[in-house]
Amino acid sequence: MRNRNYRLLNQAAVAIVLFIAVAGCERDLSDEATFATFPTQPDIFTDNPIGLTDEFFISFDPAIGANTEAFDTDNSEAYEGSSSIRIDVPATNDPNGGFVGGIFLDRGEGRNLTGYDALTFWAKGSTTATITGVGFGSDFVEDKYTTVRSNIQLSTNWRKYIVPIPDASKLTQERGMFIFSADPGSTNGAGFVFWMDEIRFENLGTIAQLRPSIFGGEDLVEQGFTGSVRQVTGLGAKFNTATGGDVTVAPSPRYFDFSSSDTSVAFVNESGLIEIIGEGTTTITAQLNGVLAEGSLEITSAGAFESAPTPTRPESSVISVFSDAYSNIPVDYYNGFFTPDGQTTQGGATPVGPNESVISYTDLNFVGIGFFNNVPSVNATAMTHLHVDINVQEAINPGDFLRLQLLNSVGNNESSGVFTINGTELESQEWVGFDIPLSDFAGLADRSQLGLLFFISDTTISNIFVDNIYFYQE
Protein backbone atom coordinates (compact mmCIF):
# COMPACT_ATOMS: atom_id res chain seq x y z
CA MET A 1 0.00 0.00 0.00
CA ARG A 2 2.67 2.48 1.01
CA ASN A 3 5.07 1.26 -1.60
CA ARG A 4 2.59 2.03 -4.26
CA ASN A 5 2.32 5.59 -3.04
CA TYR A 6 6.07 6.01 -2.80
CA ARG A 7 6.48 5.24 -6.43
CA LEU A 8 4.86 8.56 -7.19
CA LEU A 9 7.28 10.56 -5.07
CA ASN A 10 10.05 12.57 -6.59
CA GLN A 11 13.43 12.52 -4.91
CA ALA A 12 12.98 15.76 -3.01
CA ALA A 13 9.73 14.56 -1.55
CA VAL A 14 11.36 11.28 -0.61
CA ALA A 15 14.04 13.20 1.21
CA ILE A 16 11.44 15.21 3.09
CA VAL A 17 9.46 12.15 3.99
CA LEU A 18 12.60 10.37 5.17
CA PHE A 19 13.54 13.38 7.25
CA ILE A 20 10.14 13.39 8.86
CA ALA A 21 10.50 9.67 9.52
CA VAL A 22 13.85 10.19 11.24
CA ALA A 23 13.06 13.40 13.11
CA GLY A 24 9.61 12.41 14.18
CA CYS A 25 10.37 8.92 15.36
CA GLU A 26 7.50 8.97 17.83
CA ARG A 27 4.94 9.15 15.08
CA ASP A 28 4.21 6.47 12.61
CA LEU A 29 4.33 7.75 9.08
CA SER A 30 0.80 8.16 7.89
CA ASP A 31 -0.41 7.93 4.32
CA GLU A 32 -1.28 11.62 4.53
CA ALA A 33 2.43 12.47 4.48
CA THR A 34 2.64 11.59 0.80
CA PHE A 35 0.86 14.65 -0.56
CA ALA A 36 1.71 16.84 -3.53
CA THR A 37 3.14 14.10 -5.63
CA PHE A 38 1.18 14.17 -8.85
CA PRO A 39 2.97 13.12 -12.03
CA THR A 40 5.26 15.64 -13.65
CA GLN A 41 4.85 14.25 -17.19
CA PRO A 42 5.53 17.24 -19.46
CA ASP A 43 4.32 15.83 -22.79
CA ILE A 44 0.79 16.46 -24.02
CA PHE A 45 0.97 15.42 -27.66
CA THR A 46 3.98 14.07 -29.53
CA ASP A 47 2.83 11.48 -32.07
CA ASN A 48 0.00 10.47 -29.79
CA PRO A 49 -1.76 12.11 -26.90
CA ILE A 50 0.29 11.47 -23.75
CA GLY A 51 -1.62 10.59 -20.61
CA LEU A 52 -4.80 12.22 -21.83
CA THR A 53 -8.37 10.98 -21.73
CA ASP A 54 -9.38 8.56 -24.51
CA GLU A 55 -11.49 11.15 -26.24
CA PHE A 56 -8.73 13.60 -25.46
CA PHE A 57 -10.29 16.60 -27.17
CA ILE A 58 -13.32 18.08 -25.42
CA SER A 59 -14.98 20.67 -27.61
CA PHE A 60 -16.57 23.91 -26.53
CA ASP A 61 -20.34 23.65 -26.48
CA PRO A 62 -21.87 23.27 -29.98
CA ALA A 63 -24.78 25.32 -28.62
CA ILE A 64 -22.52 28.40 -28.75
CA GLY A 65 -21.39 27.62 -32.29
CA ALA A 66 -18.41 25.32 -31.68
CA ASN A 67 -17.78 22.99 -34.60
CA THR A 68 -17.05 19.53 -33.22
CA GLU A 69 -16.14 18.06 -36.64
CA ALA A 70 -13.06 20.24 -37.09
CA PHE A 71 -10.62 18.35 -34.87
CA ASP A 72 -8.50 15.40 -36.00
CA THR A 73 -5.02 13.92 -36.01
CA ASP A 74 -3.03 13.80 -39.24
CA ASN A 75 -0.54 11.04 -40.09
CA SER A 76 0.78 12.85 -43.15
CA GLU A 77 1.96 16.01 -41.40
CA ALA A 78 4.32 16.28 -38.45
CA TYR A 79 6.95 18.63 -37.13
CA GLU A 80 8.65 15.64 -35.50
CA GLY A 81 7.77 11.98 -35.75
CA SER A 82 4.81 10.82 -37.77
CA SER A 83 1.67 12.57 -36.63
CA SER A 84 0.24 15.94 -35.68
CA ILE A 85 -3.06 17.50 -34.67
CA ARG A 86 -5.02 18.90 -37.57
CA ILE A 87 -7.60 21.62 -37.10
CA ASP A 88 -9.93 22.46 -39.98
CA VAL A 89 -11.06 25.91 -38.96
CA PRO A 90 -14.56 26.23 -40.39
CA ALA A 91 -15.93 29.09 -42.44
CA THR A 92 -18.04 31.58 -40.52
CA ASN A 93 -21.22 30.26 -42.09
CA ASP A 94 -20.42 26.55 -41.65
CA PRO A 95 -23.68 24.81 -40.67
CA ASN A 96 -21.73 22.65 -38.16
CA GLY A 97 -20.52 25.75 -36.33
CA GLY A 98 -18.35 28.74 -37.16
CA PHE A 99 -15.45 28.20 -34.77
CA VAL A 100 -13.42 25.36 -33.30
CA GLY A 101 -11.94 24.99 -29.87
CA GLY A 102 -11.79 23.04 -26.68
CA ILE A 103 -9.48 21.47 -24.16
CA PHE A 104 -7.23 18.44 -23.66
CA LEU A 105 -7.80 16.91 -20.26
CA ASP A 106 -5.31 14.87 -18.22
CA ARG A 107 -6.42 11.28 -17.79
CA GLY A 108 -5.50 11.05 -14.10
CA GLU A 109 -5.99 13.30 -11.12
CA GLY A 110 -3.87 15.99 -12.67
CA ARG A 111 -0.21 16.83 -13.12
CA ASN A 112 2.31 18.74 -11.08
CA LEU A 113 3.55 21.48 -13.41
CA THR A 114 5.49 23.46 -10.81
CA GLY A 115 8.80 22.59 -12.46
CA TYR A 116 7.93 24.20 -15.80
CA ASP A 117 7.80 27.78 -16.96
CA ALA A 118 5.96 27.52 -20.28
CA LEU A 119 3.65 25.56 -22.50
CA THR A 120 5.27 25.17 -25.90
CA PHE A 121 4.16 23.74 -29.21
CA TRP A 122 4.94 23.83 -32.89
CA ALA A 123 2.34 24.94 -35.38
CA LYS A 124 1.95 25.74 -39.03
CA GLY A 125 -0.99 26.97 -41.07
CA SER A 126 -2.31 26.49 -44.58
CA THR A 127 -2.25 30.28 -44.62
CA THR A 128 -0.85 33.00 -42.38
CA ALA A 129 -4.01 33.19 -40.30
CA THR A 130 -4.30 34.15 -36.65
CA ILE A 131 -5.48 31.71 -33.97
CA THR A 132 -7.75 33.37 -31.43
CA GLY A 133 -6.18 31.88 -28.33
CA VAL A 134 -4.02 29.09 -26.98
CA GLY A 135 -3.19 28.13 -23.41
CA PHE A 136 -3.76 25.76 -20.52
CA GLY A 137 -5.38 25.51 -17.10
CA SER A 138 -8.97 25.03 -18.19
CA ASP A 139 -10.67 21.77 -17.17
CA PHE A 140 -14.26 22.87 -17.93
CA VAL A 141 -15.03 22.27 -14.23
CA GLU A 142 -13.30 24.88 -12.09
CA ASP A 143 -11.12 26.65 -14.67
CA LYS A 144 -9.05 27.84 -11.73
CA TYR A 145 -5.80 28.54 -13.48
CA THR A 146 -6.76 29.24 -17.07
CA THR A 147 -4.06 31.08 -18.96
CA VAL A 148 -4.49 32.13 -22.58
CA ARG A 149 -2.21 33.79 -25.08
CA SER A 150 -4.30 35.55 -27.71
CA ASN A 151 -3.76 36.15 -31.41
CA ILE A 152 -1.18 33.58 -32.41
CA GLN A 153 0.03 34.49 -35.90
CA LEU A 154 0.62 31.35 -37.94
CA SER A 155 3.29 30.84 -40.53
CA THR A 156 3.11 28.39 -43.42
CA ASN A 157 6.28 26.83 -41.99
CA TRP A 158 6.49 25.05 -38.67
CA ARG A 159 7.16 27.57 -35.93
CA LYS A 160 7.51 27.23 -32.17
CA TYR A 161 5.10 29.07 -29.89
CA ILE A 162 5.43 29.77 -26.18
CA VAL A 163 2.73 30.38 -23.59
CA PRO A 164 4.49 31.44 -20.36
CA ILE A 165 3.12 30.07 -17.07
CA PRO A 166 2.20 33.10 -14.92
CA ASP A 167 3.17 31.39 -11.64
CA ALA A 168 3.95 27.69 -11.85
CA SER A 169 3.88 27.25 -8.07
CA LYS A 170 0.09 27.30 -8.31
CA LEU A 171 -0.05 24.32 -10.66
CA THR A 172 0.43 21.45 -8.21
CA GLN A 173 -2.44 19.42 -9.62
CA GLU A 174 -3.61 20.62 -13.00
CA ARG A 175 -5.87 18.68 -15.35
CA GLY A 176 -6.30 21.34 -18.01
CA MET A 177 -3.37 20.53 -20.28
CA PHE A 178 -4.28 22.53 -23.34
CA ILE A 179 -6.94 24.92 -24.56
CA PHE A 180 -7.33 26.52 -27.93
CA SER A 181 -9.89 28.45 -29.92
CA ALA A 182 -9.80 29.37 -33.59
CA ASP A 183 -12.20 31.11 -35.95
CA PRO A 184 -11.92 32.53 -39.46
CA GLY A 185 -11.93 36.14 -38.21
CA SER A 186 -8.49 36.79 -39.70
CA THR A 187 -9.34 35.21 -43.08
CA ASN A 188 -12.47 37.16 -43.95
CA GLY A 189 -14.65 34.26 -42.93
CA ALA A 190 -12.92 31.64 -45.08
CA GLY A 191 -11.87 28.37 -43.47
CA PHE A 192 -8.24 27.30 -43.15
CA VAL A 193 -6.19 24.45 -41.72
CA PHE A 194 -3.51 24.48 -39.07
CA TRP A 195 -1.44 21.73 -37.52
CA MET A 196 0.01 21.51 -34.02
CA ASP A 197 2.73 19.14 -32.85
CA GLU A 198 5.08 18.52 -29.94
CA ILE A 199 2.77 20.12 -27.38
CA ARG A 200 4.41 20.01 -23.97
CA PHE A 201 5.36 21.89 -20.85
CA GLU A 202 8.99 22.93 -20.67
CA ASN A 203 11.36 24.58 -18.27
CA LEU A 204 12.93 26.99 -20.73
CA GLY A 205 14.79 29.00 -18.10
CA THR A 206 14.43 32.05 -20.33
CA ILE A 207 10.95 33.28 -19.40
CA ALA A 208 11.62 36.37 -17.29
CA GLN A 209 10.94 40.00 -16.40
CA LEU A 210 7.34 39.42 -15.35
CA ARG A 211 5.20 42.56 -15.51
CA PRO A 212 1.65 41.82 -14.33
CA SER A 213 -1.28 44.16 -14.74
CA ILE A 214 -4.86 44.56 -13.53
CA PHE A 215 -7.50 46.87 -14.98
CA GLY A 216 -5.42 46.91 -18.15
CA GLY A 217 -2.66 48.72 -16.27
CA GLU A 218 -4.86 51.76 -15.56
CA ASP A 219 -5.25 53.46 -12.20
CA LEU A 220 -9.02 53.79 -11.95
CA VAL A 221 -11.04 55.89 -9.51
CA GLU A 222 -14.64 54.97 -8.79
CA GLN A 223 -17.42 55.69 -6.39
CA GLY A 224 -19.07 52.81 -4.57
CA PHE A 225 -21.66 51.91 -2.00
CA THR A 226 -21.87 49.32 0.74
CA GLY A 227 -23.15 46.02 -0.52
CA SER A 228 -22.16 46.49 -4.13
CA VAL A 229 -19.60 44.35 -5.92
CA ARG A 230 -17.03 44.84 -8.68
CA GLN A 231 -14.90 42.40 -10.60
CA VAL A 232 -11.19 42.98 -11.08
CA THR A 233 -10.84 42.94 -14.86
CA GLY A 234 -8.11 43.45 -17.44
CA LEU A 235 -5.68 40.87 -16.03
CA GLY A 236 -2.39 40.44 -17.82
CA ALA A 237 1.09 39.02 -17.36
CA LYS A 238 3.82 40.24 -19.70
CA PHE A 239 7.04 38.25 -19.94
CA ASN A 240 10.22 38.74 -21.91
CA THR A 241 11.28 35.69 -23.92
CA ALA A 242 14.62 34.65 -25.36
CA THR A 243 13.92 35.33 -29.02
CA GLY A 244 10.27 36.40 -29.24
CA GLY A 245 10.45 39.71 -27.40
CA ASP A 246 7.64 40.42 -24.95
CA VAL A 247 4.77 37.92 -24.69
CA THR A 248 1.58 38.75 -22.79
CA VAL A 249 -0.85 36.15 -21.47
CA ALA A 250 -4.21 36.58 -19.76
CA PRO A 251 -4.12 34.68 -16.46
CA SER A 252 -7.21 33.84 -14.43
CA PRO A 253 -7.69 35.82 -11.18
CA ARG A 254 -6.52 32.90 -9.03
CA TYR A 255 -2.90 33.50 -9.98
CA PHE A 256 -3.04 36.94 -8.34
CA ASP A 257 -2.88 37.97 -4.71
CA PHE A 258 -5.34 40.82 -4.42
CA SER A 259 -5.32 43.31 -1.61
CA SER A 260 -7.41 46.18 -0.37
CA SER A 261 -5.66 48.99 1.49
CA ASP A 262 -8.61 49.31 3.87
CA THR A 263 -10.47 46.06 4.41
CA SER A 264 -13.16 47.84 6.44
CA VAL A 265 -14.19 49.53 3.17
CA ALA A 266 -13.85 46.64 0.73
CA PHE A 267 -12.17 43.28 0.33
CA VAL A 268 -11.30 41.14 -2.66
CA ASN A 269 -11.65 37.39 -2.81
CA GLU A 270 -9.37 35.01 -4.71
CA SER A 271 -11.61 35.19 -7.77
CA GLY A 272 -11.07 38.93 -7.99
CA LEU A 273 -14.52 39.86 -6.75
CA ILE A 274 -14.48 43.14 -4.82
CA GLU A 275 -17.15 43.50 -2.18
CA ILE A 276 -17.78 46.92 -0.68
CA ILE A 277 -18.67 46.60 2.99
CA GLY A 278 -18.27 50.04 4.54
CA GLU A 279 -17.70 53.75 4.22
CA GLY A 280 -14.35 55.29 3.28
CA THR A 281 -11.68 55.01 0.63
CA THR A 282 -9.64 51.96 -0.31
CA THR A 283 -7.29 51.06 -3.11
CA ILE A 284 -7.37 47.64 -4.73
CA THR A 285 -3.99 46.35 -5.91
CA ALA A 286 -2.59 42.95 -6.80
CA GLN A 287 0.59 40.96 -6.96
CA LEU A 288 1.47 38.11 -9.26
CA ASN A 289 4.24 35.82 -8.04
CA GLY A 290 5.44 38.59 -5.72
CA VAL A 291 5.50 41.29 -8.40
CA LEU A 292 3.20 44.28 -7.94
CA ALA A 293 0.77 44.57 -10.82
CA GLU A 294 0.42 47.77 -12.78
CA GLY A 295 -3.04 49.25 -12.41
CA SER A 296 -5.33 49.77 -9.43
CA LEU A 297 -8.83 50.76 -8.44
CA GLU A 298 -9.46 53.44 -5.83
CA ILE A 299 -12.97 53.09 -4.45
CA THR A 300 -14.59 55.77 -2.37
CA SER A 301 -17.63 54.35 -0.65
CA ALA A 302 -20.24 56.72 0.72
CA GLY A 303 -21.66 53.89 2.83
CA ALA A 304 -25.05 52.43 2.19
CA PHE A 305 -26.73 53.78 -0.88
CA GLU A 306 -29.93 55.67 -0.31
CA SER A 307 -32.15 54.10 -2.90
CA ALA A 308 -34.80 55.84 -4.92
CA PRO A 309 -38.36 54.84 -4.05
CA THR A 310 -39.31 51.55 -5.67
CA PRO A 311 -41.76 52.06 -8.55
CA THR A 312 -45.22 50.58 -7.99
CA ARG A 313 -46.83 50.75 -11.42
CA PRO A 314 -47.61 47.35 -12.98
CA GLU A 315 -45.03 46.12 -15.47
CA SER A 316 -47.77 45.76 -18.09
CA SER A 317 -48.24 49.53 -18.35
CA VAL A 318 -44.53 50.37 -18.38
CA ILE A 319 -41.69 50.52 -20.93
CA SER A 320 -38.62 50.70 -18.73
CA VAL A 321 -35.29 52.13 -19.88
CA PHE A 322 -33.47 51.79 -16.57
CA SER A 323 -34.89 50.41 -13.34
CA ASP A 324 -34.20 47.48 -11.03
CA ALA A 325 -37.99 47.09 -10.61
CA TYR A 326 -38.71 46.22 -14.25
CA SER A 327 -37.14 44.30 -17.09
CA ASN A 328 -35.48 46.98 -19.13
CA ILE A 329 -35.36 47.45 -22.88
CA PRO A 330 -31.95 46.82 -24.42
CA VAL A 331 -30.00 50.04 -24.96
CA ASP A 332 -26.98 50.97 -27.02
CA TYR A 333 -25.47 52.87 -24.07
CA TYR A 334 -26.25 54.79 -20.93
CA ASN A 335 -23.60 57.33 -21.86
CA GLY A 336 -22.88 57.94 -25.56
CA PHE A 337 -19.63 59.80 -24.82
CA PHE A 338 -20.21 62.34 -27.61
CA THR A 339 -16.79 63.75 -26.90
CA PRO A 340 -16.25 65.24 -30.39
CA ASP A 341 -19.46 67.22 -29.85
CA GLY A 342 -18.08 68.73 -26.67
CA GLN A 343 -19.51 66.31 -24.15
CA THR A 344 -17.66 66.30 -20.83
CA THR A 345 -20.00 63.95 -18.97
CA GLN A 346 -18.44 60.87 -17.37
CA GLY A 347 -20.09 57.87 -15.77
CA GLY A 348 -23.00 55.61 -16.57
CA ALA A 349 -24.76 52.67 -14.98
CA THR A 350 -23.01 51.67 -11.78
CA PRO A 351 -23.75 49.04 -9.10
CA VAL A 352 -24.66 50.44 -5.70
CA GLY A 353 -25.64 47.29 -3.83
CA PRO A 354 -26.52 43.66 -4.30
CA ASN A 355 -28.71 43.55 -7.44
CA GLU A 356 -29.04 47.30 -7.38
CA SER A 357 -27.65 49.89 -9.73
CA VAL A 358 -28.17 53.52 -10.64
CA ILE A 359 -26.90 55.80 -13.33
CA SER A 360 -24.23 58.13 -12.01
CA TYR A 361 -23.17 61.10 -14.13
CA THR A 362 -20.27 63.36 -13.23
CA ASP A 363 -18.87 66.44 -15.02
CA LEU A 364 -22.28 66.73 -16.64
CA ASN A 365 -22.91 69.16 -19.47
CA PHE A 366 -25.00 66.84 -21.60
CA VAL A 367 -25.32 63.08 -21.98
CA GLY A 368 -27.49 60.74 -24.00
CA ILE A 369 -29.00 57.32 -23.37
CA GLY A 370 -29.28 55.67 -26.76
CA PHE A 371 -31.65 52.92 -27.92
CA PHE A 372 -31.83 53.16 -31.68
CA ASN A 373 -28.55 51.96 -33.20
CA ASN A 374 -28.17 48.21 -32.62
CA VAL A 375 -31.36 47.78 -30.62
CA PRO A 376 -35.03 48.48 -31.42
CA SER A 377 -36.29 51.99 -30.81
CA VAL A 378 -39.26 52.53 -28.50
CA ASN A 379 -42.81 52.92 -29.68
CA ALA A 380 -44.31 55.06 -26.90
CA THR A 381 -47.53 56.05 -28.69
CA ALA A 382 -49.56 54.17 -26.09
CA MET A 383 -47.59 55.76 -23.24
CA THR A 384 -48.60 59.01 -21.55
CA HIS A 385 -45.73 59.89 -19.20
CA LEU A 386 -42.00 59.67 -18.65
CA HIS A 387 -40.93 58.92 -15.09
CA VAL A 388 -37.45 59.70 -13.79
CA ASP A 389 -35.91 59.90 -10.30
CA ILE A 390 -33.07 62.39 -9.86
CA ASN A 391 -30.70 62.88 -6.92
CA VAL A 392 -28.36 65.88 -7.24
CA GLN A 393 -24.95 65.19 -5.66
CA GLU A 394 -23.98 68.81 -5.03
CA ALA A 395 -25.36 72.13 -3.79
CA ILE A 396 -28.04 73.58 -6.06
CA ASN A 397 -27.58 77.21 -7.08
CA PRO A 398 -30.03 79.77 -8.51
CA GLY A 399 -30.23 79.34 -12.26
CA ASP A 400 -29.39 75.63 -12.20
CA PHE A 401 -31.51 73.47 -14.46
CA LEU A 402 -31.78 70.03 -15.97
CA ARG A 403 -33.30 69.77 -19.43
CA LEU A 404 -34.61 66.46 -20.73
CA GLN A 405 -34.76 65.95 -24.46
CA LEU A 406 -36.44 63.07 -26.32
CA LEU A 407 -35.53 62.29 -29.92
CA ASN A 408 -37.76 60.35 -32.30
CA SER A 409 -36.51 58.56 -35.43
CA VAL A 410 -32.90 59.50 -34.75
CA GLY A 411 -31.00 60.69 -37.82
CA ASN A 412 -33.85 60.06 -40.23
CA ASN A 413 -36.67 62.58 -40.39
CA GLU A 414 -35.80 63.23 -36.77
CA SER A 415 -37.97 65.20 -34.40
CA SER A 416 -37.42 66.07 -30.77
CA GLY A 417 -38.94 67.72 -27.76
CA VAL A 418 -37.59 69.20 -24.54
CA PHE A 419 -38.79 69.55 -20.98
CA THR A 420 -36.89 71.68 -18.47
CA ILE A 421 -36.70 70.97 -14.74
CA ASN A 422 -35.75 74.06 -12.75
CA GLY A 423 -33.13 73.73 -10.02
CA THR A 424 -35.71 74.86 -7.49
CA GLU A 425 -37.62 71.62 -8.13
CA LEU A 426 -34.57 69.48 -7.32
CA GLU A 427 -33.03 68.63 -3.95
CA SER A 428 -29.40 68.18 -3.05
CA GLN A 429 -28.60 64.62 -1.80
CA GLU A 430 -32.24 63.61 -2.06
CA TRP A 431 -34.31 61.72 -4.57
CA VAL A 432 -37.01 63.68 -6.35
CA GLY A 433 -39.38 61.84 -8.68
CA PHE A 434 -40.82 63.43 -11.83
CA ASP A 435 -43.81 62.25 -13.84
CA ILE A 436 -43.69 64.28 -17.01
CA PRO A 437 -46.57 64.11 -19.49
CA LEU A 438 -45.08 63.23 -22.87
CA SER A 439 -47.29 65.95 -24.34
CA ASP A 440 -45.18 68.45 -22.34
CA PHE A 441 -42.12 67.65 -24.50
CA ALA A 442 -42.68 70.66 -26.75
CA GLY A 443 -41.99 69.81 -30.38
CA LEU A 444 -42.21 66.02 -30.08
CA ALA A 445 -44.91 65.34 -32.66
CA ASP A 446 -44.25 61.61 -33.10
CA ARG A 447 -43.19 59.18 -30.36
CA SER A 448 -43.45 55.90 -32.26
CA GLN A 449 -39.65 55.52 -32.67
CA LEU A 450 -38.05 57.11 -29.62
CA GLY A 451 -34.30 56.50 -29.69
CA LEU A 452 -32.45 59.00 -27.49
CA LEU A 453 -32.99 60.61 -24.10
CA PHE A 454 -30.68 63.51 -23.26
CA PHE A 455 -29.93 65.08 -19.89
CA ILE A 456 -28.66 68.60 -20.43
CA SER A 457 -27.40 70.92 -17.68
CA ASP A 458 -24.99 73.12 -19.62
CA THR A 459 -22.67 72.55 -16.62
CA THR A 460 -25.06 74.25 -14.16
CA ILE A 461 -25.36 70.88 -12.42
CA SER A 462 -22.37 68.54 -12.66
CA ASN A 463 -23.10 65.45 -10.57
CA ILE A 464 -26.34 63.51 -10.48
CA PHE A 465 -27.75 60.07 -9.85
CA VAL A 466 -30.61 58.99 -12.09
CA ASP A 467 -32.84 55.97 -11.56
CA ASN A 468 -36.17 54.48 -12.61
CA ILE A 469 -36.38 55.90 -16.11
CA TYR A 470 -39.53 54.51 -17.68
CA PHE A 471 -42.43 55.42 -19.92
CA TYR A 472 -45.86 54.52 -18.61
CA GLN A 473 -49.51 54.67 -19.43
CA GLU A 474 -51.57 56.54 -16.87
Partner 1 sequence: MKMILKNNYVKLLLVVSLFIMGCNTDETQTVTNFDNLVLEDNFDVDGQIDTSIWNFDIGNGAEQGIPGWGNNELQFYTDRTENVTTENGFLLITARQEAFNGSQYTSARLQTKGKFDQRYGRFEARMRLPYGQGMWPAFWLLGDDSDGEIWPQVGEIDIMENTGDKPTEIFGTIHGPGYSGAESISKLYDLQNDRVDTGFHIYGIEWGPNYINFYIDDVLYNQLTPEDVADETDGEGQWVFNDRPFYIILNIAVGGNLPGPPNADTVFPQTMLVDYVRVYTE
Residues contributing to the site for partner 1 (CB under 8 A): 203-206, 208-209, 211, 240, 242-243, 245-246
- Cβ–Cβ under 8 Å, residues 375 and 332: yes
Name the residue nearer to partner 1 (CB basis): 53 or 203.
203
Name the residue nearer to partner 1 (CB basis): 58 or 210.
210
Taking the complex as a whole, the smallest distance from the CB of residue 288 to partner 1 amounts, in Å, to 16
Name the residue nearer to partner 1 (CB basis): 151 or 379.
151
Taking the complex as a whole, the smallest distance from the CB of residue 168 to partner 1 amounts, in Å, to 15
Four-CA torsion 298, 299, 300, 302, nearest 10 degrees: 180
Taking the complex as a whole, the smallest distance from the CB of residue 118 to partner 1 amounts, in Å, to 12
Taking the complex as a whole, the smallest distance from the CB of residue 207 to partner 1 amounts, in Å, to 9
Name the residue nearer to partner 1 (CB basis): 240 or 281.
240
Name the residue nearer to partner 1 (CB basis): 172 or 240.
240
Share of the chain residues as helix, strand and coil, in percent rounded to the nearest 5? 10, 45, 45
Report how far residue 228's alpha carbon sits from residue 275's, in angstroms, rounded to the nearest whole number: 6
Say how far residue 46 (Cα) sits from the centre of its chain: 33
Name the residue nearer to partner 1 (CB basis): 245 or 330.
245
Name the residue nearer to partner 1 (CB basis): 43 or 202.
202
Taking the complex as a whole, the smallest distance from the CB of residue 135 to partner 1 amounts, in Å, to 21
Taking the complex as a whole, the smallest distance from the CB of residue 145 to partner 1 amounts, in Å, to 23
- Cβ–Cβ under 8 Å, residues 468 and 325: yes
Report how far residue 316's alpha carbon sits from residue 473's, in angstroms, rounded to the nearest whole number: 9
- Cβ–Cβ under 8 Å, residues 125 and 154: yes
> HSE (CB half, 13 Å, CA atoms) of 303?
1
Taking the complex as a whole, the smallest distance from the CB of residue 162 to partner 1 amounts, in Å, to 13
Quick check: helix, strand or coil at residue 14? helix
Report how far residue 155's alpha carbon sits from residue 127's, in angstroms, rounded to the nearest whole number: 7
Say how far residue 460 (Cα) sits from the centre of its chain: 36
Residues 6+ apart with CB under 8 A from 147: 135, 136, 137, 163, 165, 166, 237, 249, 250, 251, 252, 255
Name the residue nearer to partner 1 (CB basis): 15 or 242.
242
Taking the complex as a whole, the smallest distance from the CB of residue 439 to partner 1 amounts, in Å, to 57
- Cβ–Cβ under 8 Å, residues 12 and 65: no
